[in-house]
Amino acid sequence: MKTINPTQLVNTSRKWYLIDAEGKNLWRLATKVAVLLKWKSKVDFAPHLDNWDYVVVLNAWKVAVTWNKAEDKLYHTHSWFIGWIKEVNFNTLKEKKPTEALKLAISWMLPKNKLRDGMLSRLKLELGSTHKYEAQQPVTIEL
């Protein structure tokens, strides 16, 4: 038997999913969203094709972390000049960029290749409990 290689269809209907992040654990939420973005359980899954769905996360800044991770978890940035590494803890990052911690957690769980930017472009993070994607009729997912 030959292995069938799926092709990218021109008129593929992408599904929209809606998740409320209020009070959810950051890493557990990130794994669920990463699975939805990659969606390896689809019948027409192919790792090299762009057949992914959209995910809208409401209240993205209200994610919770456990124990002392709010003070202990550090996010590093580097400008590639010697001595220019910067460290920011979770609370400071949440004050400056409220959705960045969730976006980074999801990004770290996606494959590290050229397709990651396409997957992240289908991720919509909203600060409030309303969104502008009602016309797409997203399916609500409870975690």
Residue 53 near residue 120, CB atoms below 8 Å:
no
pLDDT of res. 24:
95
**What's the average pLDDT block by block, 10 residues per block, for the chain (143 residues)?**
67 85 95 90 77 92 92 93 92 95 96 93 96 96 90
Residue 115 half-sphere exposure toward CB, CA atoms < 13 A: 12
Signed CA dihedral, 39, 44, 134, 120: sign only: positive
pLDDT of res. 14:
84
pLDDT of res. 55:
96
- The 8-class DSSP code of residue 63 comes to -
Domain ranges of the chain: 16-66+98-140
Which of these, 143, 131, 140, 142, lies nearest to 18 by C-alpha position?
140
Which of these, 48, 28, 29, lies nearest to 38 by C-alpha position?
48
pLDDT of res. 48:
81
pLDDT of res. 26:
95
Which of these, 37, 49, 52, lies nearest to 4 by C-alpha position?
49
Residue 37 half-sphere exposure toward CB, CA atoms < 13 A: 27
CATH, range 16-66+98-140 = 3.90.1180.10
